[in-house]
Amino acid sequence: MSTIRKRNDVWHEKMAKNITFIVTKDCQLACKYCYLVGKNEKERMPWNVAKAAIDYILDHENDPNFAYDSVVWDFIGGEPFLEIDLIDRICDYIKTELFRRNHQWFNSYRFSFSTNGINYASDKVQNFIKKNYNHLSIGITIDGTERKHDLNRVYKNSGRGSYQDVVCNIPLWIKQFPHSATKVTISSADIPYIHESVLHLYGLGIHEVNINCVFEDVWQNGDDQLFEEQLMRLADSIIERELYKNFSCSFFNENMGKPLDCKLQNGNWCGAGRMLSIDAEGNFYPCTRFAQYSLRDKEAWIIGNIHDGIDYNKIRPFLTLDRCTQSAPECIDCEVASGCAWCQGENFDAAHTHTVFERSTAICKMHKARVRANNYYWNKLYRKLELDGQREEFEANNAHVKPEIS
């Protein structure tokens, strides 16, 4: 029996090609931390663009860029379920074409969604779920307690909080996808609510809570101390109530906060460039964060389109990225480097030149605070396990846990 819950592995994560359709740039909400600076109601993907994109991708089955065992077809927005009819048609076409072509991805595909959850119980979405159930990953974003959620996740016209309209769909979602995780994004104003929010999400029956601080340069003086305090309170609650047995939170990771070697641990953090994003006009991007609606200061990094195909020169920088080349000396020498994440899109947007090789360090002090709280958590947890006689079992169960970056 495992006494500590581990995070679910993302389906075939390493071997799967990730292809994202930006089906709409519209959303019912106007979340205050949303990185999509250029959201709008006009840019909806027409069917012929979606079809041409699928045809292009499947026609290039032998291209190294698509030579993956599996595929994750990702649908994002805005809010993807606003375009459920289009999505349904796309998914039907993909299934038919994979079968017709006897493609390696037939039966090795996933449809993945990140939704605000507002339309989740609608007939159309539910019918879609029934039809594709065995191939679905759906994440609903709920940020925590009502006051925390409504601090950011508000309707775009009225400014009203969306919590009540989302939380009512959580039981159905958990019933349908018991292993689902939720994604929580922390910005400066959210810090005081971290502790209560994670516990609240556990209380709703969500067993896995993945939290990230935003990568943008939003942090105020003192935010790191507040953050550390919140995480330590959370650590106390998780340990005292033995929630670690059934729940997990991405804030606490045993392999975080160690120095990293520039030869052996030089991997890039994210998959930009290995992924492919397609927008309503049929343009291709190395990741959605490089589309114009996601960028503040830079021009979109378009790597091709459905008519001309991919310009491979434009993805060479992404496919040659390593950790140390893009990091400043302070990051290379950092004693607590492991687990310090970055977003290639934000790095690009914030860079002084047109490059993906300049890593932003806006998150540095938050990472260091997280490392301190994380150390506290593990020291306290191990002591408790020791006293409870469960330490050996725990260590045996976790021997295979891989480092956060390799």
Residue ranges in contact with other proteins by CB under 8 A: 266-268, 297-299, 301, 312-314, 316-317, 319-323, 325, 351-358, 406
Task: Closer to other proteins by CB, 332 or 364: give it.
Answer: 332
CB of 233 to other proteins, least distance (A): 37
Closest CA to 113 of 92, 82, 89: 82
Q: Strand, coil or helix: what is 263?
A: coil
CA proximity to 217, closest of 91, 333, 364, 319 = 364
Provide the minimum distance between the beta carbon of 300 and other proteins in the complex, in angstroms, as a whole number. Answer: 11
Toward other proteins, which CB reaches closer, 266 or 390? 266
The closest of 237, 126, 246, 128 to 178, measured between CA atoms, is 246
> DSSP states of 174-235 as a string?
HHH-TT-EEEEEE-GGGGGGHHHHHHHHHHTT--EEEEEE-SSS-PPTTHHHHHHHHHHHHH
Q: Based on CB atoms, which residue is closest to other proteins, 122 or 406?
A: 406
**In the bound complex, what is the minimum distance in angstroms from residue 357's beta carbon to other proteins?**
6
Closer CB to other proteins, 77 or 273, in the complex: 273
Query: Taking the complex as a whole, how short is the minimal distance between the CB of residue 187 and other proteins, in angstroms?
Result: 24
What is the smallest separation between the CB atom of 312 and other proteins, expressed in angstroms?
7
- Minimum distance, C-beta of residue 299 to other proteins, in the bound complex (Å): 7
**In this complex, which beta carbon is closest to other proteins, that of residue 172 or of residue 332?**
332
Question: Which residue lies nearer to other proteins by CB, 261 or 335?
Answer: 261
The separation between the first and the last C-alpha atoms of the chain, rounded to the nearest angstrom, is: 29
Enter the DSSP assignment of 337. -
Q: How far apart are CA 127 and CA 402, in angstroms?
A: 38
Q: Is 378 buried (19+), middle (13-18) or exposed (0-12) by CB count in 10 A?
A: middle
| Shortest Å, Cβ 329 to other proteins | 9
Q: Name, in order, each residue with C-beta under 8 angstroms of 348's C-beta and a sequence gap of 6 or more.
A: 289, 290, 295, 298, 301, 355, 356
Kindly give the pairing relationship between strand 276-278 and strand 16-22.
Answer: parallel
**Would you call 108 exposed, middle or buried from its count of C-beta atoms within 10 A (0-12, 13-18, 19+)?**
middle
The nearer residue to other proteins, 44 or 323, going by C-beta atoms, is 323
